[in-house]
Amino acid sequence: MTQSSAIPTVKLLIGGELVESSTSEWRDIVNPATQEVLARVPFATQTEMNAAVASAKEAFKTWRKTPIGTRSRIFLKYQQLIRENMKELAAILTAEQGKTLPDAEGDVFRGLEVVEHAAGIGNLQLGELANNVATGVDTYTLLQPLGVCAGITPFNFPAMIPLWMFPMAIATGNTFVLKPSEQDPMVTMRLAELAMEAGVPPGVLNVIHGGADAVNLICDHPDIKAVSFVGSTKVGTHVYNRASQAGKRVQCMMGAKNHGIILPDAHKEQTLNNLTGAAFGAAGQRCMALSVLILVGEAQSWLPDLIAKAKTLKINAGAESGTDVGPVVSCAALDRISSLIERGVSEGAELVLDGRNPQVAGFENGNFVGPTIFSGVKPEMSIYREEIFGPVLCVMQADTLDEAIELINANPNGNGTALFTRSGAAARHFQEEIDVGQVGINVPIPVPVPMFSFTGSRASKLGDLGPYGKQVVQFYTQTKTVTQRWFDENEVGGPVNTTINLK
């Protein structure tokens, strides 16, 4: 599509300047509750994208030598600016993405926590030292930045996920090129502006926009040393293979199918409240949404209560107060979710709550689908095999906890899982036997806080290290090991050969 002057344009951030793209390819950013076009985002030209990488490469020469306290203080200032602008950030996010305002603030807040953690970089980027590994010889490690790093982010957390990436990359001394989702880049750009205001120097953070071409340029560019990706399994696998092939360090956090197990001894009211929030909140567009429930034994009789609770959720535009379930991000997403619901019916699952075509007064054009529940779901059905990424819950039945664990371990994904019970012994058994990287015990969405790391596993992740916390310090640095010996003036010389002295 070509550019029209009436609608605002999203800028590129190159070398500290907000730049209007000279591209001829633009995409509308659409409010999912109203279909209003909010802005247009460019698909940057190759020249512009190369300029962003070149500016990051140039900035690295000085940024890598910036004292750790200086880096830390920028993030102290940044966290303050994010707090001061929280309402504005949430409003932008809700307008372009659709989630409710409280959810949007949560999106920003979970990213803010990573910024706070980045401000403590002085305690995180620490090497090790062993004294006298041989006579007069010490060995120590330096955690040195890699150079230009890049991030590719999905539409569903346009504040949190960019903030998983560039603050820790920059705090560890790297420079960064970010490629936000082309569906909702506006809040990400506002966060980038605030980062500049906080003192991130020109060229240290750059933002390019686009789709597959931009992603492929990041994978291939010889000056980019590491790539952090969050998004679907299909694209993440492509990015992992292509960028690894080009010699880069790569981490990819990808799709999911998160199961919750309900034992009959669980606290019923608390559990049902938690389940409805985790399955239908953010319209199910969370990589950690609970999209499959396994009711064990007598807990199978809870289904009518769950349906009743789901029916009480209020479907409305995200900016309206009291909304529980906002629209899904696009008409295409709505079509995909609706067709998966149809497939569920045709493949024999029982549609016990049909959320299709809800009437939302005042927002008749919005991409709404209400809470939807299937019962009697079997592992071979499409609604179980595919990530629906909408407010659709698949309910399955099992006789025992072990049967439920077996079902989860047979599913390829390993992002998150949760058990609801009052039994410590059952919880411990679950924690030991379940093959999923993030486990909740009576906690439906167990996303770790930033002093830990996001540890999705199996098909939900490629690469060893998670996107924030301690693991990401390793991801964004190269460990250099130095073995050092100094001579006293009057020391009788000998070969500098540690192996001789090891005895």
Is 287 known to be catalytic?
yes
**Token reading at 233:** 């399994």
Q: Which range, of 134-142, 250-258, 274-282, 397-405, touches ligand NAD by CB under 6 A?
A: 250-258
For residue 403, with 0-12 CB atoms within 10 Å meaning exposed, 13-18 middle and 19 or more buried, which class applies? Answer: middle
Assess 97 for contact with ligand NAD (CB under 6 A): no
Q: What is the per-residue binding string for ligand NAD in 417-456, x denoting contact by CB under 6 A?
A: -------------------------------------x-x
The region, left, alpha or beta by phi > 0 then psi within -120 to 50, assigned to residue 421 is: beta
Query: Which of 154, 158, 260, 326 contacts ligand NAD by CB under 6 A?
Result: 154
**Token reading at 350:** 């029982």
Assess 330 for contact with ligand NAD (CB under 6 A): no
Residue 214 CB, shortest distance to ligand NAD, in Å, is 7
196-214 in b/e form (b: 16+ CB < 10 A) is bebbbbebbbbbbbbeeeb
Residue 248 CB, shortest distance to ligand NAD, in Å, is 15
Query: Which of 162, 203, 255, 437 contacts ligand NAD by CB under 6 A?
Result: 255
- Show the beta-strand stretches assigned E in 404-497: 413-414, 417-420, 439-441, 457-458, 461-462, 477-485
Name the packing angle between helices 68-84 and 101-119 (round to 10°): 160
Q: Which range, of 189-197, 208-216, 398-406, 427-435, touches ligand NAD by CB under 6 A?
A: 208-216
Of 11 and 209, which CB lies nearer to ligand NAD in the complex structure?
Answer: 209
Catalytic pick from 149, 287, 331, 394? Answer: 287
Query: Which of 23, 94, 258, 460 contacts ligand NAD by CB under 6 A?
Result: 460
Assess 228 for contact with ligand NAD (CB under 6 A): no
71-92 in b/e form (b: 16+ CB < 10 A) is bbebbebbbebbeebbeebbbb
Residue 137 CB, shortest distance to ligand NAD, in Å, is 43
Query: Which of 231, 366, 371, 437 contacts ligand NAD by CB under 6 A?
Result: 231
Integer-rounded Cα radius of gyration of the chain:
25
Q: What is the per-residue binding string for ligand NAD in 258-287, x denoting contact by CB under 6 A?
A: -----------------------------x
How many CB atoms are located within 10 Å of the residue 15 CB?
16
Structural contact between residues 465 and 251, judged by C-beta atoms closer than 8 angstroms: yes
Q: How many residues bind ligand NAD (CB under 6 A)?
A: 28
- Neighbouring-strand partners of residue 426: none
Query: Which of 23, 34, 97, 181 contacts ligand NAD by CB under 6 A?
Result: 181
Assess 153 for contact with ligand NAD (CB under 6 A): yes
Assess 415 for contact with ligand NAD (CB under 6 A): yes
Q: Which helix (H) or strand (E) holds 186?
A: helix 186-198
Query: Which of 27, 40, 179, 249 contacts ligand NAD by CB under 6 A?
Result: 179
Q: What is the 3-state secondary structure (H, E, C) of 201-252?
A: CCCCEEECCCCHHHHHHHHHCCCEEEEEEECCHHHHHHHHHHHHHCCCEEEE
Residue 136 CB, shortest distance to ligand NAD, in Å, is 48
Distance of CA 71 to CAs 62, 326, 469, 487, Å? 12, 38, 17, 35
Q: Which range, of 60-68, 229-237, 352-360, 391-399, touches ligand NAD by CB under 6 A?
A: 229-237
Distance of CA 406 to CAs 379, 380, 415, 433, 440, Å? 12, 15, 16, 9, 17
Assess 256 for contact with ligand NAD (CB under 6 A): yes
Written as one letter, the residue type at 71 is R
Assess 156 for contact with ligand NAD (CB under 6 A): yes
Assess 110 for contact with ligand NAD (CB under 6 A): no
Assess 209 for contact with ligand NAD (CB under 6 A): no
Residue whose beta carbon is closest to ligand NAD: 231
Assess 49 for contact with ligand NAD (CB under 6 A): no
Looking at residues 353 to 372 of the shown chain, list those that interact with ligand NAD (rule: CB under 6 A). none
In this structure, what are the phi and psi dihedrals at residue 330, rounded to the nearest 5 degrees? Answer: -150, 165
Rounded distance between C-alpha atoms, residue 344 and residue 328, angstroms: 19
Structural contact between residues 187 and 207, judged by C-beta atoms closer than 8 angstroms: no
Looking at residues 380 to 409 of the shown chain, list those that interact with ligand NAD (rule: CB under 6 A). 387, 389
By CB under 6 A, name the binding residues for ligand NAD.
152-157, 179, 181-182, 211-212, 215, 230-232, 235, 238, 253-256, 287, 387, 389, 415, 454, 456, 460
- Active-site residue numbers? 287
